[in-house]
Amino acid sequence: MNYTYIVECADGTLYCGWTNDLKKRIADHNAGKGAKYTKPRLPVKLVYSETFDTKEEAMSREWHIKHLSRAKKQELIGRGLVK
């Protein structure tokens, strides 16, 4: 399974991506693991997620989400809030 997701940083910024190991990536991000720079990472939380059978579908959806305005991303979040 592959996921397309939107996460929200502590400062309110939104970014999206795709992965089949989403929870581990968010946990690693929050813990500061894998950082190749010294800038502290802001905590993030998952606010939207969709599941796809193929990575191509997930990557395509992620590309479309990246090119949405903040208002459209907020609309998606409102419709598919992940707990």
Reported as a single tens digit per residue, the pLDDT across 26-50 is 777 777 766 554 556 677 888 888 8
Instruction: State the residue for tokens 């999206």.
Output: 16
The CATH code of the domain at 2-79 is: 3.40.1440.10
- pLDDT higher than 80, residue 16: yes
Reported as a single tens digit per residue, the pLDDT across 64-79 is 998 988 888 888 888 7
The pair of structure tokens assigned to 80 is: 């598919």
What is the distance between the alpha carbons of residues 63 and 45, in angstroms, rounded to a whole number?
20
Reported as a single tens digit per residue, the pLDDT across 52-61 is 999 999 999 9
3-class secondary structure, 4: strand
Domains of the chain by residue range: 2-79
